[in-house]
Amino acid sequence: MGAGAIKKQGGGGRGRKRSRAQPMSEINVTPFVDVMLVLLIIFMVAAPLLTVGVSVELPKSAAGALPTEQEEPLTVTVTADGEVQIQTTSVERTQLVTRLRAIAAERASDRVFLRADGAVPYSSVMEVMGALNAGGFSNIGLVTDIGGPALDSGDASGN
């Protein structure tokens, strides 16, 4: 693993002076590559476990993903039974605007992601969106699962 010695090519015959061994000047990168591959595998396995969220059945959509940002995204979730959660903390609907204003004062970004179960009525989702707007968050992203139905059939004739 360390530096070795390489013997000089030279005659081994009689009467010739023996030469000194010179240090090897090459670095063995194999252990470095092994360690890096192990770390890569560890991070690939651990990364999906780092996502925080509440289990909801998201509706499907044909929309693409939003670009990522520096700050950890704020997520508001409406569960199937109508419960509202900020990140993973349950919040009463009457206290939602107050909590959102306090959070908005501490954050640099006004972006928030709204996750709502597909079984939640549209009016309930709109109430939470109104609370988000009143709480200081005007950049609201609706979270859906990919692979949903697209409204355009790709046919220019409109059939």
Tens of pLDDT, residue by residue over 40-78, are: 999 888 887 776 666 667 777 776 665 555 667 788 888
Residue 50: CA count within 13 A, CB half-sphere: 7
pLDDT of residue 11: 53
| CA separation for the pair 112, 109 (Å, rounded) | 8
Tens of pLDDT, residue by residue over 91-127, are: 888 888 888 888 888 887 778 888 888 888 888 888 8
pLDDT of residue 13: 54
On whether the CB atoms of residues 120 and 82 are closer than 8 A, the answer is yes
Mean pLDDT of 30-35: 91
Point out which residues pair with 78 in neighbouring strands. Answer: 84, 116
Task: Kindly list the distances between the CA atom of residue 107 and the CA atoms of 22, 102, 111, 144, 151, in Å, as whole numbers in the listed order.
Answer: 61, 9, 9, 24, 36
Better pLDDT: 149 or 133: 133
Edge-to-edge strand order for the sheet containing 111-116? 89-91, 84-86, 74-78, 111-116, 139-142
pLDDT of residue 122: 86
| CA separation for the pair 107, 72 (Å, rounded) | 10
Kindly indicate the confidence band of residue 16, based on its pLDDT and cuts at 50, 70 and 90. low
Q: What is the mean pLDDT of the chain?
A: 77
Closest-CA residue to 137 (of 44, 75, 61): 75
Provide, rounded to the nearest whole percent, the portion of the chain with pLDDT above 70: 69
Report phi then psi at 38, rounded to 5. -65, -45
Residue 146 has pLDDT above 90, yes or no: no
CATH class for the region spanning 74-144: alpha beta
pLDDT of residue 64: 67
Kindly indicate the confidence band of residue 38, based on its pLDDT and cuts at 50, 70 and 90. very high
Reported pTM: 0.52
pLDDT of residue 67: 59
Quick one: tokens of 64?
A: 């693409």
Report the number of secondary-structure helices (H) and strands (E) in the chain.
3, 9
Indicate if the alpha-carbon torsion angle 38, 44, 45, 46 is positive or negative: positive
pLDDT of residue 37: 95
